Amino acid sequence: MAEPSVLRPHPPEFERFLYASVGEDRNGYVVTVLSALARLGLDPWIETAELVTLGRDAARARLGTLLARFRDVPMLASDHGRVAQDLSQLLPEGPASDTLKRAASTVTGHRLGTSGTIWAVLTIIIVLFQVLTIVGAGSGE
């Protein structure tokens, strides 16, 4: 049976935070934390895992700094501190469960996990299939 982490590689405790809105962009579309972090060139899950390990106050300060750099949502230029405060309340808190600690360390550790292994195996299968197709097409002459 497949491990749950294969089907859901990211910690579900992060979803409430990552899918929260940071405001509307210039086109009127809602921008989520996940989208904002990705647009800043950061991996949203790694950044969230690091915010969780910082603690509430340090996470709020770090998030405020990140949101101040984000120019796609005009409202953040003047209100990034309040938004960071609100969003930091959505981070998992308290004595972190062993699952959350393990998930955060896996996310921040950049380990080649099960999903990386699956992609490697699929790539090998595709390459072998292409080689066999080419060899099979050439022998029919």
Residue range 53-68, pLDDT digits in tens: 888 899 999 999 999 9
Whether the model clears a pTM of 0.85, i.e. scores above it, the answer is: no
Only one residue has tokens 């380990």, namely: 111
pLDDT recorded at residue 85: 93
Contacts of 16 (CB under 8 A, 6+ apart): 90
Q: How does pLDDT run across 4-60, given as a tens digit for each residue?
A: 555 555 678 888 999 999 999 999 999 999 999 999 999 998 999 899 888 889 999
Is residue 101 exposed (0-12), middle (13-18) or buried (19+ Cβ within 10 Å)? middle
Q: How does pLDDT run across 110-130, given as a tens digit for each residue?
A: 544 556 777 788 888 888 888
Do 92 and 52 contact (CB within 8 A), yes or no?
A: yes
Only one residue has tokens 């959350």, namely: 100
Residue 73 dihedral angles phi and psi, to the nearest 5°: -115, 105
